[in-house]
Structures are given as structure tokens and as C-alpha cells.
């Protein structure tokens, strides 16, 4: 049996990962929308963008970036995962 040492930040990262993996589909999308995309929408007015599509495209992208930085930093550079999340959230929620 191999013994490994874990520090507090390792344990926090593992716990976050386990909790994140338990969220799937709509539950994960709702979490990202409520916790990350919503606050960004509160800070930016749609008039700052050329059209509604550009607005939602940007706030969704920024929200996913913030989610990955905060909850899944080990996947921050996984562009396939980022693109998949973005497309899934747009299909699930994007109001235009």
C-alpha cells in the first residue's frame, strides 16, 4: 500500500471536484447560471454590446471562465470541456 501526503489545499481541491462531479446536466448548468453568469449579467448592460447574441455569448463565456477558475482549476486549459459547457448552457438556457 502506498501512502501519499495531502495538504489542506489538495483536500479542498479534491472535495470541490467530488462535489462538482456530482452535479450533472441541468443541475450543473443551473449552478453556473446562478453563481457565475447571473452576477456578470448584473454588472453588464446589454446596451454595451452590439446585439443580444453578443451580450449572451460574452456573459456565458465569462461565467464559464469564472466557474472553471473557481471550481475546476485543473480543467481551466481544457478547451474542449470549456467549449462543451458553453454550447450545452447556450442550448439549455440562452434566451434568444
Per residue in 48-83, pLDDT tens?
A: 998 988 999 999 999 999 999 998 898 999 999 999
Query: How many residues make up the chain in this entry?
Result: 96
Q: Note whether 44 and 59 are within 8 A (CB).
A: yes
Does residue 34 sit within a domain? no
Predicted local distance difference test score (pLDDT) of residue 31: 93
Q: Is there a domain that residue 62 lies in?
A: yes
> Is the full-model pTM beyond 0.75?
no
Asked if residue 15 belongs to a domain, the reply is no
**Maximum separation of any 2 CA atoms in the chain, in Å:** 60
Q: How many domains does the chain have?
A: 1
Q: For residues 9 and 38, what is the distance between their CA atoms, to the nearest angstrom?
A: 28
Query: What does the block give as the cell for 14?
Result: 479534491
pLDDT tens by residue, 11-50: 887 777 666 566 778 889 999 999 999 999 999 989 999 8
Determine the pLDDT at residue 20: 59
Amino acid at each position: 500500500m502506498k501512502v501519499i501526503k495531502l495538504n489542506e489545499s489538495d483536500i479542498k481541491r479534491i472535495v470541490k471536484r467530488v462535489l462538482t462531479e456530482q452535479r450533472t446536466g441541468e443541475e450543473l448548468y443551473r449552478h453556473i447560471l446562478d453563481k457565475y453568469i447571473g452576477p456578470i449579467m448584473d454588472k453588464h448592460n446589454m446596451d454595451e454590446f452590439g446585439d443580444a447574441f453578443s451580450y449572451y455569448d460574452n456573459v456565458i463565456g465569462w461565467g464559464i471562465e469564472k466557474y472553471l477558475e473557481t471550481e475546476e482549476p485543473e480543467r481551466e486549459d481544457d478547451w474542449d470541456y470549456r467549449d462543451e459547457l458553453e454550447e450545452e448552457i447556450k442550448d439549455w438556457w440562452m434566451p434568444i
